[in-house]
Structure 1
Amino acid sequence: MSTWPEVVAQVQPGVGQFYVTRCEAGATGTGFLIGPDLVVTAAHVVRDASAISIAFGRTTVNATVVGKNDMADIALVKTDSPVQGHQFQLRTSEPPVATDVAALGFPLGRPFTFTRGTVSALDAKQDTGSRVLENLIQTDTAVNHGNSGGPLITQDGQVAGVVVTIEFDDNMRAEGIAYAVTAPRVAAAVKEWMSRSAPVDFKDCGNAPAPGSGFFPLTVSANHDQARNIGQTLILHGQAINQGAYAAAFKLFTPELQATFGDTAKWSADLGSSYWTKAEIINVSGTSSADDLNAEVILQTIQDAAHGRNGQTCSNWKIRYSMHWDGAAWLIAGSSLPFGEPTAC
C-alpha cells in the first residue's frame, strides 16, 4: 500500500479551494474533482452564492451549481473549463470503524493541509440547528471551517466521505469529533444530478451584474508565500463587484479605509459601470511575518466611456494594493498608481 506522502502527492492537484461570493459576505471552502469539469463540495459552501470561483494550484476557474441537496449537505458544481488535476474515486462502501483516514482541504482559508485520523463511528447523526444530518461518518480527524466540502480519504486515495461539519455542544466546540457524508450517498446523488443536471440560479443581489458571465480569471505569478492568500481576497472583492454584491466587496476593506469612503452606497456609486475582467498578481513585497504587505497587480476593467479614464471603455491598470492582515484574512488597506495612469486595452 502507498504511504500517506505518496497518496497526497498524487491526489493534491484534484483538491480545489472555493471562493464563494454572497450578497453580504464572501466565504471559502473545499471541493474535489470527480471529472474534468465536475467538483463535489458541501451544499452549505455554495448556499446563497452569487458567484463561485475555484482555485486548483495557480489556476482559477469559475463554476455553477448543477446539483444541491441541503438536507444531505452535498453539492455538485460544474467548472466553465476542464481542469487538469487528479480525479477522485468514491468508495462503494463505508470504511470500518478504526480505519485510517485523512482530510484534505483549506481550513480557515489557509493553504492546503493534510490531517490524519480514524473512523470513530458509522451511522452517526448531528443536529446543526437548522437541520439534522444522518448516516454520517464520525472521525477524530482534525478539521476546521474551510475544510467543508473536502474529501475524507482512505490510504488507497479513495474518497470515504465529504467533510461537512464539526461537533458543537451548547455553542462550545467539541474536540476530535467531525462528520462526513458517506461516499455511497454522494455517489447516488451525483449519478442523479449528472442524468438531469440543470444550473442552479445564482443569488440576485439586487444590483446590476457585470455583462456576460460576470466572472474574471485571476493569475498569481508572484512567488511570495502570501501571494495566494492575498489573491483570495482580490478574487472575492472583484467577484463581488462584478455581481453587484457591493456589501460583500466593501467588507474586504479595512475599517480605516471603509471610513474614508463613508459607507457601501457612497463607495459603490463611484464604481459607475466598471467591472473586472482579469487580474494578475505579479509581485508581493514585505516580510512573510509582517501584518502589512504591498501587492502589485495588473488589472483589466471594462466600463462605459463616461466612467473610464480619458473615455476608455477597456483599461489596463497596474495597481499597488496595500494589504493588512487582521488576524483572520488579508484586507485591502489602500491602493495607488505609482506606475502611472491606466492604458487603453
Structure 2
Amino acid sequence: MSTPTSTTSAESAGPVDWAKLVADARPGVVRLEVASCDARWMGTGFVVGPHQIMTAAHVAIDAQTVSVQGDGFNTTADVVGLDRGSDSALLWSPEDLQHPLKLAPVAPQLAAPVALLGFPQAVSDLRVTQGIVSGLQASADYSDVDIHLAGLIATDAAINGGNSGGPALGRDGSVIGLVTGKQVWNVEDDPVEGTGFLVPAAQLAPHLREWRDLTPPDGGRGCDGDNQAPEAQGSILEVEVVPDSAEAGDVARSLVLHGESINHGDYEIAWGLFTPRLKRDLGSLSTWESGLGSSYWTNLTVGSVEVSGDEAVVEAALRTEQDAKDGYRGQTCSIYSLTYSMKRDGAAWLIDHAKNAQGSPRACP
C-alpha cells in the first residue's frame, strides 16, 4: 500500500519532460473508427496488453465493427468487456500489439500536471493537450447512453469529440485516467469551460484484471435487414498498408471497415461506406448483398494511395474466399487487383468506384 510520503515525493519531483513522455507513449495510443448498424463515430484507445486495447464504454457501446489505426499498422478489434459504471471497455485485436501503457498505481494529487493523448475532431495524427488535475471527486452523467459516473478526476486540459477513451498521462508517464468527457453547460444552462473528466486508473484496474483473458465470441453480431450469411469462422482479415502516411491509413481504414462488415454479415454498415452515386449504380442494398453470396475477405494489401483534396485513388490487392457456386468460374479463392476511387465525406472516406485491373479475378495459387 502506497504511503502519502511516496505520493508527495513523486508529485513534487523536478520539471516534467513531456516531449519524452509523449514520444514513449505514442506507439501505445490508437485511433478507433467504430460503426453500429446505423452510425459511425471516432474515438481513442490505448494498448494495455498483447492483444488488448482499453477505451471508453460510450465509444464501444453498440459497436458492430471497430477499425484500429496504430503507429504504423491498421487492424480490427472486438469488444470483449464493457462497464457503464466506470465508462470503460476492453477491445481484443488479432494484431500483436506492442508498447502497452501502464496504469498508475497511485492517484494524482490536486494540481498535478497531466497530458491527454488522442485524436480529437477525427484527425489522423495524434494530438496532445496539457493541464492540471483540478478536482478529485467529480461526477458526470451521460443520460443518452445510461452512464452515470462518480469519483472522477477533473482537469482543465482541453477535451473534444474523439478524445474519449484516450489516456491521461501523469508526470511519470503512467496512465492516471481515461478520458471520458467534459462539461459544456451547468444546471442553469450557462456555458462552462475548462472542466473535463477522467476515469481514475483505480477504477479501470479491476476491470482490466477481470477482462484480460477474454477473447471475442463466435458470431452473434448483425443488423436488422442483414441476411445473416455465416461468418467467416476463424478467419481474420489480414491487412497491409504499404504507404507510411496518416492519410493512407485514414483511407485504408474505410476499406478495412467495409471488408470486416462483409465478413460479419453487417451488410448495412458495408453499404453505408459507398457514395450515393455508387449506391445508385448498384441499385439497392438487397441487390448488392445477394451478389456477395458466401464471399468474405481474407487479405487486403493497400499498395498506394494518392490523395488530392477530398478525393483519393487507391491501388489494392484483395483476396477473397467463397463457396465454388459463388466464385468466378468456380473459384473458391480469388485474387483481385483493384483500383478504388474514394471521396471524403466529413471524417470518413467512402468508396465511389472500384475497378478490377484484370477485368476478372484470378484463382489463388
Q: Same fold (TM over 0.5)?
A: yes
1:161 to 150, 170, 177: 177
Distance apart, 1:245 and its partner CA: 1.0
> For the residues of structure 1 that align with 2:312 and 2:94, how far apart are their CA atoms?
32
What aligned pairs does 1:49-68 form with structure 2 within 5 A after superposition?
49-68=63-82
Q: Which moved more, 1:17-26 or 1:112-121?
A: 17-26
3-state DSSP of counterpart to 2:261: helix
CA contact (8 A) 2:36 2:63 kept: yes
- What residue in structure 1 maps to residue 273 of structure 2? 252
Q: Which moved more, 1:49-58 or 1:105-114?
A: 49-58
Distance apart, 1:135 and its partner CA: 1.1
RMSD in angstroms over aligned alpha carbons? 2.5
> For the residues of structure 1 that align with 2:317 and 2:45, how far apart are their CA atoms?
28
Distance apart, 1:64 and its partner CA: 3.7
AA of the residue aligned to 1:99: A
Matched, 1:72 2:86: yes
AA of the residue aligned to 1:106: F
Misfit runs of 4+, over 4 Å: 170-175, 196-202
CA contact (8 A) 1:67 1:199 kept: no
User: For residues 325 and 78 of structure 1, do their structure 2 counterparts lie closer, same or farther at Cα, with a shift above 3 Å needed?
Assistant: closer
What aligned pairs does 1:170-209 form with structure 2 within 5 A after superposition?
174-194=192-212, 197=214, 199=216, 203-205=221-223, 207-209=228-230
The answer to which structure, 1 or 2, has the higher relative contact order (CA under 8 A, 6+ apart) is 1
2:123 to 99, 103, 110: 110
- What residue in structure 1 maps to residue 105 of structure 2? 92
What aligned pairs does 1:1-20 form with structure 2 within 5 A after superposition?
3-20=17-34
Q: Which moved more, 1:169-178 or 1:151-160?
A: 169-178
- What residue in structure 2 maps to residue 331 of structure 1? 350
- What residue in structure 1 maps to residue 3 of structure 2? none
User: For residues 340 and 155 of structure 1, do their structure 2 counterparts lie closer, same or farther at Cα, with a shift above 3 Å needed?
Assistant: farther
3-state DSSP of counterpart to 1:256: helix
Runs of 5+ in structure 1 lacking a partner? none
Matched, 1:48 2:67: no
- What residue in structure 1 maps to residue 96 of structure 2? 82
- Structure whose CA Rg is larger: 2
Q: Provide the TM-score with structure 2 as the length reference.
A: 0.85
Q: Deviations over 1:236-291 (max 9, x none)?
A: 1111111111111111111222222233222212222211111011111243xx11
Matched, 1:141 2:157: yes
3-state DSSP of counterpart to 1:147: coil
3-state DSSP of counterpart to 1:226: helix
Identity %: 38
> For the residues of structure 1 that align with 2:195 and 2:235, how far apart are their CA atoms?
39
User: For residues 293 and 65 of structure 1, do their structure 2 counterparts lie closer, same or farther at Cα, with a shift above 3 Å needed?
Assistant: closer
Distance apart, 1:225 and its partner CA: 4.5
Q: Deviations over 1:184-231 (max 9, x none)?
A: 11112222334x857567533351243214541221102454110101
User: For residues 332 and 173 of structure 1, do their structure 2 counterparts lie closer, same or farther at Cα, with a shift above 3 Å needed?
Assistant: farther
Distance apart, 1:153 and its partner CA: 0.7
Q: Which moved more, 1:255-264 or 1:245-254?
A: 255-264
User: For residues 81 and 291 of structure 1, do their structure 2 counterparts lie closer, same or farther at Cα, with a shift above 3 Å needed?
Assistant: closer
Distance apart, 1:80 and its partner CA: 2.9
3-state DSSP of counterpart to 1:176: coil
AA of the residue aligned to 2:117: L
User: For residues 11 and 296 of structure 1, do their structure 2 counterparts lie closer, same or farther at Cα, with a shift above 3 Å needed?
Assistant: same
> For the residues of structure 2 that align with 1:66 and 1:59, how far apart are their CA atoms?
21
1:291 to 298, 310, 313: 310
> For the residues of structure 2 that align with 1:304 and 1:197, how far apart are their CA atoms?
31
3-state DSSP of counterpart to 1:330: strand
CA contact (8 A) 2:66 2:257 kept: no
3-state DSSP of counterpart to 1:124: strand
- What residue in structure 2 maps to residue 38 of structure 1? 52
Q: Which moved more, 1:332-341 or 1:126-135?
A: 332-341
Q: Which moved more, 1:258-267 or 1:133-142?
A: 258-267
Runs of 5+ in structure 2 lacking a partner? 1-14
Q: How many residues align?
A: 341
